[in-house]
Amino acid sequence: MRSLAVASPLPPAAAAVAARRRPRAASSFGREVGSQCWKYDLGQDRSLGGSLRPVSRKFAQTTFDKFAQTSSAISVEQDEVNTYLPKGDMWSVHKFGGTCMGTPQRIQSVADIVLGDSSERKLVIVSAMSKVTDMMYNLVHKAQSRDDSYTISLEEIFEKHMAAAKDLLDGEDLARFLSQLHSDVSNLRAMLRAIYIAGHATESFSDFVVGHGELWSAQMLSYAIKKSGAPCSWMDTREVLVVKPSGSNQVDPDYLESEKRLKKWFSRQPADIVVATGFIATTAENIPTTLKRDGSDFSAAIIGSLVRARQVTIWTDVDGVFSADPRKVSEAVILSTLSYQEAWEMSYFGANVLHPRTIIPVMKDNIPIVIRNMFNISAPGTMICRQPTNDNGDLDACVKSFATIDNLALVNVEGTGMAGVPGTSSAIFSAVKDVGANVIMISQASSEHSICFAVPEQEVAAVSAALHVRFREALAAGRLSKVEVINGCSILAAVGLRMASTPGVSAILFDALAKANINVRAIAQGCSEYNITVVLKQEDCVRALRAVHSRFFLSKTTLAVGIIGPGLIGGTLLNQLKDQASVLKENMNIDLRVIGITGSSRMLLSDTGIDLTQWKELLRKEGEPADLANFVRHLSDNHVFPNKVLVDCTADTSVASHYYDWLKKGIHVITPNKKANSGPLDRYLKLRTLQRASYTHYFYEATVGAGLPIISTLRGLLETGDKILRIEGIFSGTLSYIFNNFEGTKTFSNVVAEAKEAGYTEPDPRDDLSGTDVARKVIILARESGLRLELSNIPVKSLVPEALASCSSADEFMQKLPSFDEDWAKQRSEAEAAGEVLRYVGVVDAVNKEGQVELRRYKKDHPFAQLSGSDNIIAFTTSRYKEQPLIVRGPGAGAEVTAGGVFCDILRLASYLGAPS
Ligand SMILES: NC(=O)C1=CN([C@@H]2O[C@H](COP(=O)(O)OP(=O)(O)OC[C@H]3O[C@@H](n4cnc5c(N)ncnc54)[C@H](O)[C@@H]3O)[C@@H](O)[C@H]2O)C=CC1
Ligand SMILES: N[C@@H](CC=O)C(=O)O
Ligand code: NA
C-alpha cells in the first residue's frame, strides 16, 4: 500500500474543507444520507473479494486524519487556495467498459458494485454502452458520405438510450436525463447535417459526436447510483482531462494542466462519488478530442494518477489476466499478480491485458491496477502492481505468461560486407521507417553477418522493395548477399520479470519447443529479460504455445495418439488407455488423448480426444472410410496438441514403410509391428539415422518378447559399454506354448489352435510356425547389437508343412493342419524317448556376426525345457555377463502383456517429452 507523501502544510482553505468533511468520513461506514441509511462494513463485505478492500477502517481513518492535518502529495499553489482536489489513499478508481454498461440491468449492477466499495471516495470511469461508440463513428461516416440513413441511425441511438434510461431511472432524474438526451440529439442532428452538407468531418467534429456515448452512459450511471441513495456527481472529462497529440494517432496527457482543472472541478462539486466519462478529453485549446484506442482504460489510469488513487480497478468480462490466450490453451490459468513491466510486455505481445499506455500513468505512482470480472465478482482478479512479493519461487512465477503475434514476416539482410561497418543497421531501419513499417523484433548475431527483423506480413513487400533500393549497390557488389523474406511467421514470447535472475529458463523453453519438434527461426532477448521472443512458423504457433505453457505452468505432458490397427493388441491397448488415463493425468500429469483410430476399413477422428469408453461403437457408427494418408494428416494438422504419436498395431509392411515420413513430420512412432526393423537393412538404417538425428522418438519394445524388457535391457547393456557376445533364447510365445503343451495328450493342430485362440500367434499363424517371426526377432536384436544382417541371412527351419505353405488364407491353413498331426506326434515321441524336449530357438552370434533359428532338442533339465505357457526366455552373454548370462524370462506373447509393453513405450515417450518420472 502506498504511503501518503507529506510535503507542506495544507493550505488553510483546503484544511477547512477537509476538516468540514472529517466528521462525515468518521461515520462513513454507517451514515445517514437523505432518508436512507446505508452501511458498509469492510469486515463483512465479502461480495467484492480481496482486492476491493485493501484499506482497513483504521487505516482509512488514519490516512484521512493525516490528510486533514498535513498536505497532499502535489504542492498546491497559493493562487489556487480556493480549489480542492482531495487525494490520498481514500480514492478508489473504477473503470467499466462498454460490455459492463451494455444494458440497464448491467448499469444497475455497476451501480451496486460502486456502492459496495467501502472506499472513502470513488471515481468511476465509464465507456459508452456497448456498440454505441461504433454506432457513433458510423453516424459520422454516413453523414460525410452523404448517406441519408444517418438520421435513422441517430434515431436508433436515441431510442436505445431512452429505453435504457426509462428502464433504469424514474421521476425527476429520468426527466432531467431525457431532456438532456433530447437536447444533445437535436444538436447532433444539426451537426451531422452540417457534416452531410460539407461531405467532410474534421477530427474534432468527429470526436465531439462520438464522445456522446460516454456522456450519456456516465449520466445514466450517476443517476442510478443516486437513485440507490448515495449522492453522486457526474463529470464531463472534457472539462478536466487535457491532452496533446503525440503523433501516430496517440495523445499525451498534460498532467499539470489536467490537475489544475480537476481541482477547479472539485472546488465546484466536492463529491464523494463521481462518475466520469472515459475516452473523451480536450486539448489545451478546449477542442474536444479522444484518448484513441482503449481510451477509457487510459482515462482511468490518468485520473487514478491525478487523484493518487489507492487502486484502479478495471472491470471487464474475464476473471483476470490469463497465462496464455485461453482460446488457444484451454489450461491457461488466471494470474494473481503481475508487475507493471510484465503487463506491459504482455500487452505488447497481443495479450488482451491493457494498452501499454494505460500502465504508464499509474506506474509512476505505484498505483495498483486490478483487472476484475464484473460478472463474477467472487473472482479476485489480477493485480498489476510494483514487483509483486507473493511469488512462490516456482518456474511459473518466473515465467508469467506466453503470448503470440501472428501474420508476421521475417526479413533477413545478410552479407559479409555488414560486419564492422558502422551505420548498416541505421541504414536498414531508416529504409524500414521510410515505408512506415512497424518493426516487431530485431535480432543480430555478434558475427554481424546478418540482421533479421520481424514486421507485419502486409508491410513486408514495401520493406523488401525499400531495402533492395537502399542496398542496390551493396547487393550488386556482393557486399550484401541477400535481402530475404520469410513469410508466414509468428512470434511466441515468454514474459516474466524474474526470468533474468532464474537460470535455466531459456533452456526449458527451448527444450519444450524442441521436444514438440518446433523449428525456431529467430530468437531475441534483451538484457532486461522481461521477455524471450522466438520466431517460428505460424502453423506451429499454437502447438508451440501449448508445449511451453504446459511445461511451465502445468508440468503436464499432453500427447495426441493415433492408433493404427485396433485388432487384438490395438484394441487391448485402447482399453488399457481408457482404464489408466485419469490416473496418469492425476498422478503423473500426463494427458493422453487418442485423437484417431484407424482399422483397414474404417477410421474415427476427433480433434480433442475420442471417448474411449465407447471407441468400438463410435468407430462402427461414426467412423468414415479408412484412409491412412488422411489419418496421418489429421494428426499432423492438429495444431492444438504439441506432441503426437502414431502407434502401429498392425502387422502390415506397408504401414511400417511410412515410419520414416512420420518421424520426419515430427510424429513419434511406437509399434509392436516387427516389419520395419526386420525389413530391408538400408531402410532400417535410414530410419534409425533419422530418428537419432532428430528429437522424434521411435520405440518398439514389444517387437521382441512382447512386454518383456528385452530391447531396453539390450540398450542398457550397450549404452553402458558392455559388449554383446551372444543372445540366445526362445523368442516365440506361440512356439513356446505349442512345445510346452504338446505332451502327447493333445494333437499338434489342437495346440496350435489353442495358441491362436489365446492371442499368441501372428495374424497368420504360419508366420510363427515358419520360424519367420523368430527370425525377425533375431534380426531386430542383431541390428540393435550393431550387426548388419538381412532377414535372408538367417537360415530358418520352417515347421509349416510344405504342402500348406501355399494356402491362400490362415483359416485354410488351420483347417488343413490336422492332416500333419501324425508326423508331429512321431517327432515328439522320438525326442521323448531320448529324455528330451523340442524347443524352437533363436541365436544372435555377435562374435561371428551371424544369426540362427533352429528347432532343437534339449534335455529335460535344461532351463529352456523348464518353461510354461507362452514363456520366452532370453539369455544375454556379454563381457560383463560371461560366466552366467543375464536372463529375462516370462510370457512373451498375449494381448494384455503385449499391449502393456506398447503402453510402456507411450509412457517412456511422455517421460522423454518432459513428464515427471
Ligand atoms: N499377439 C501378440 O502376442 C503379439 C503381437 N505383436 C504384434 O502386434 C501386431 C498386432 O497383432 P494382433 O493385434 O495380434 O493382430 P490383429 O490381426 O488382431 O490386429 C491387426 C489389426 O490391424 C488392422 N490392419 C491391418 N492392416 C491395416 C492397415 N493397413 N491399416 C489399418 N489397419 C490395418 C487389422 O484390420 C486388424 O484390426 C502385430 O504386428 C504383431 O506381430 C507383437 C508382440 C506380441
Ligand atoms: N506371435 C508372436 C507374438 C509376439 O511377438 C509370438 O508368438 O511370439
Ligand atoms: Na519386449
- Taking only the tens place, the pLDDT of each residue in 312-331 is 999 998 888 888 888 888 88
Q: Judge if the beta carbon of residue 704 lies within 6 A of ligand 1.
A: no
At 882 the pLDDT is 96
| Stated length of the chain | 917
Which of 735, 736, 751, 762 best tests ligand 2's pocket when mutated (most atoms within 8 Å of CB)? 762
Mean pLDDT of 439-464: 88
Ligand 2 in contact with 111 (CB < 6 A)?
A: no
* Residue 409: band (very low, low, confident or very high) from pLDDT cuts 50, 70, 90: very high
Please answer whether residues 869 and 897 qualify as being in contact, where contact means their C-beta atoms are separated by less than 8 angstroms. no
Please tell me if the CB atom of residue 701 comes closer than 6 angstroms to any atom of ligand 2: no
Quickly tell me which residue has 502390415 as its cell. Answer: 652
Place of cell 458520405: 145
Query: Which ligand is nearest to the Cα of residue 631, counting in written order?
Result: 1
Q: Shortest CA distance to 84 belongs to which of 9, 6, 10? A: 10
- Residue 565 beta carbon below 6 angstroms from any ligand 1 atom: yes
Which single residue is written with the C-alpha cell 477530427? 203
Q: Give catalytic residues, as residue numbers.
A: 777
| 231-251 tens-digit pLDDT | 999 999 999 999 998 776 788
For residue 661, what are the contacts with CB-CB under 8 A and spacing of at least 6? Answer: none
Q: If you measure from the C-alpha of residue 168 to the centroid of ligand 3, how many angstroms do you get, rounded to a whole number? A: 74
- Asked whether 793 and 764 are in contact (CB, 8 A), the reply is no
C-alpha cell at 77: 499553489
Most confident residue range from 251-255, 376-380, 740-744, 876-880: 876-880
Q: How far is CA 395 from CA 339, 496, 548, 591, in A?
A: 16, 10, 12, 20
Q: Does the pLDDT of residue 542 top 60, yes or no? A: yes
Tell me: the pLDDT tens digits for 810-844?
Answer: 999 999 999 999 999 998 899 899 999 889 999 99
The CB of 706 under 6 Å from ligand 2? The reply is yes
- Mind listing the pLDDT tens digit for each residue in 484-502? 999 999 999 998 887 777 7
Strand-pair category, 836-845 with 850-859: antiparallel
Q: Is the pLDDT of residue 77 over 50?
A: no
Report the pLDDT averaged over residues 887-899. 97
- Residues with beta carbon < 5 A to ion ligand 3? 701, 705, 708, 710
Paired sense of beta strands 401-414 and 250-253, if any: unpaired
For the beta carbon of residue 528, count every other beta carbon within 10 angstroms.
11
CB of 768 sitting under 6 A from ligand 2: yes
**Mean pLDDT, the chain, as a whole number?**
85
What string of H, E and C letters represents the secondary structure of 687-754? HHHHHHHCCCCEECHHHCCCCCCCHHHHHHHHHCCCCEEEEEEECCHHHHHHHHHCCCCCCHHHHHHH
Ligand nearest to the CA of 708: 3
CB 777 near ligand 1, within 6 Å: no
**Count of other CB atoms within 10 angstroms of residue 369:** 30
pLDDT band for 293, please (50, 70, 90 cuts).
low
Cα of 693 from ligand 3 centre, angstroms:
24
Index of the ligand 1 atom closest to the CA of residue 603: 31
State ipTM. Answer: 0.98
The SS3 call for residue 416 is helix
Tell me the average pLDDT across 611-638. Answer: 95
**421 vs 555, residue with greater confidence:** 421
Determine the distance separating the centroid of ligand 3 and the alpha carbon of 780, expressed in angstroms: 11
Q: What is the mean pLDDT of residues 867-882?
A: 96
- 589 contacts: CB under 8 Å, gap ≥ 6: 554, 555, 556, 557, 915, 916
pLDDT of 60 over the 80 cut = no
- What is the Å distance from ligand 1's center to 359 Cα? 61
User: pLDDT digits over 499-535, tens only?
Assistant: 777 778 888 899 889 888 898 988 887 666 678 899 9
Residue to substitute in 768, 770, 840, 873 for testing ligand 2 pocket (most ligand atoms within 8 angstroms of CB):
768
pLDDT digits (tens, 9 = 90+) for 700-738: 999 999 999 999 999 999 999 999 999 999 999 999 999
pLDDT at 613 over 80: yes
Share of the chain above pLDDT 70, in %: 87
If you measure from the C-alpha of residue 519 to the centroid of ligand 3, how many angstroms do you get, rounded to a whole number?
33
Which 3 state secondary structure label does DSSP give 196? helix
Residue 911 pLDDT > 80, yes or no? Answer: yes
pLDDT tens figures, 36-57:
222 222 222 223 222 222 223 2
Pocket probe for ligand 2: among 761, 799, 840, 898, the residue whose CB has the most ligand atoms within 8 Å is 761
The whole-number pLDDT of residue 43 equals 27
- Is 0.80 surpassed by the pTM of this model? no
